[in-house]
Amino acid sequence: MSKRTARALSVPWRLFAAVALVVGVVACAPASPDGAVVILWHTLSGRHERALLNLIDRWNRGNPAGITVVPERRDPAALRAGVLNGAARNALPNLLLVSPSQAAVYHQRGILAPLDSYMTSGSPATGWGAADRSDLYPFIFAAGRTTGADSATIGIPFGGVARVMLSNLDWLRSINIDAMPADWEQFDAACAGATDRSRGTLCFGADTSSAVFEEWLYAHGGSLIAQNDEGIQLLTPAAGEAIGRLSAYVRNNQAYRVNSQRQSRDDFTAGRVIFAFDWSDQIGLYRNLIRERANFAWDISLLPATRTGSALLERGTAYRAPLWVVTKADDARQLAAWRFIRWLTDAPQTVEWAVETGELPARVSAINVMAGQAPVDPSTASLLKTIAPAARPEPLIGGWGCIQGVLASSLRQVFDGQPVTDTLQVAQSTAQHEIDFDCSLQ
């Protein structure tokens, strides 16, 4: 080969090497979400869907990366079928708003992308810094986190509601109780004073739902999931005390079983019971009904706490919220989907969602902004400050829908006279058997 030929061949090879080097650098660089299109599936309707669409419109008009979110509403069955079929064909939407139990099923099937690396990113546009973490409520970090040695965050809750206790303050004062009961001794005294069979007044109505089971369990310092484990724990001292106390009120004819939440709500707003238990987004409805029917002074808080000596144990309350989850895709689309989730949890957006839907905001600072905004009054804002830190998300397990049935059945059996310990023992075994079952298949 002549020197001229050798020199001629060397130029393209040098060019090829240079191009390969550039391609290699680009391949190793972080994926850019700029200009990405994010397909979003949800099941919301009514005011919740309108509120979400308004937020999406604002995002699409203003985000600097030019990321476009395209929402598609599907009914729950169609969404689930679409996800499972799409996973088989590698044709999934990028972002889903689903129940925690469905998120757990999708995680088990390897469909979802973990979010921890985005949450802890040092980029201000991506990660949550120290100020964010101190401002976001604990349920934001707990609701979508799996348990066990390989725990990871697979979802972020969106809004949500928590269980609260409502009290008739005028009635409490008439029986010489000046404030809402803070512990169970005060609650016992209120129930005893309020119960008058001749007048047809009782302490409260109790339905046999899993929410009631959870609410009373958390108020007694209990938990449904064993710490650092995926096991259900129902046969515990806290569960026995909580369900035993609740059933005792029913057996002693101070409380009564209701067939629906509406029955309890009607009795409370008409002044026939001194306490009621409901979800936090129903507060506005109670306000209107009380004004129309009995017009008494009332207040809202959590169930009483268990007292140990002079101290009250930390209490929680049941919390429900769907999760934003990101399906596995190329890095750019995953990051684009996360950027939208992160934006939703910023103060302006979480305030807008809470005001429009009556659900909980994601941030402490949001409540201060909400105070004084119609229809939020200062007393409601103060209540949210009490409720939000105590919110305990439902377990992130595929079989949660089945286990909810187990909890409700346990309450019915105990109210019918079955021993608490025996009932919880059976419930423990049944729930553990169904922990990973996809209950949407039933």
Measured on CA atoms in the order 180, 186, 189, 195, is the torsion positive or negative?
positive
Pair 435, 428: CB distance under 8 Å: no
Three-state DSSP class for residue 160: coil
Query: What is the reported pLDDT for 12?
Result: 41
In whole angstroms, give the CA distance from residue 120 to residue 130: 10
Q: Which residue ranges of the chain lie beneath pLDDT 70?
A: 1-30, 227-230, 372, 374-378, 440-442
Three-state DSSP class for residue 164: strand
pLDDT in tens, 63-99: 999 999 999 999 999 999 999 999 989 899 999 999 9
CA angle 165, 169, 171 (to 5 degrees): 110
In whole angstroms, give the CA distance from residue 70 to residue 72: 7
Pair 315, 303: CB distance under 8 Å: yes
φ, ψ (nearest 5 deg) of residue 162: -130, 155
Three-state DSSP class for residue 159: coil
Q: For the chain, give every residue range classified as CATH 3.40.190.10.
A: 37-160+321-384, 161-319+398-441
Query: What is the reported pLDDT for 35?
Result: 92
Query: What is the reported pLDDT for 370?
Result: 85
Fold of the domain spanning 161-319+398-441:
D-Maltodextrin-Binding Protein; domain 2 (3.40.190)
Query: What is the reported pLDDT for 2?
Result: 41
Query: What is the reported pLDDT for 375?
Result: 66
CA torsion 334-337-341-343 (nearest 10°) is 110
Query: What is the reported pLDDT for 230?
Result: 60
Query: What is the reported pLDDT for 441?
Result: 62
Query: What's the mean pLDDT when you consider all of the chain?
Result: 89
- Is CATH 3.40.190.10 the classification given to domain 37-160+321-384? yes
φ, ψ (nearest 5 deg) of residue 74: -135, 150
Nearest Cα to Cα of residue 43 among 17, 81, 79, 7: 79
CA 301 to chain centroid: 18
Pair 412, 208: CB distance under 8 Å: yes
Prior bond of 100 cis (ω within 30°): no
Task: Give the predicted TM-score (pTM) of the model.
Answer: 0.89
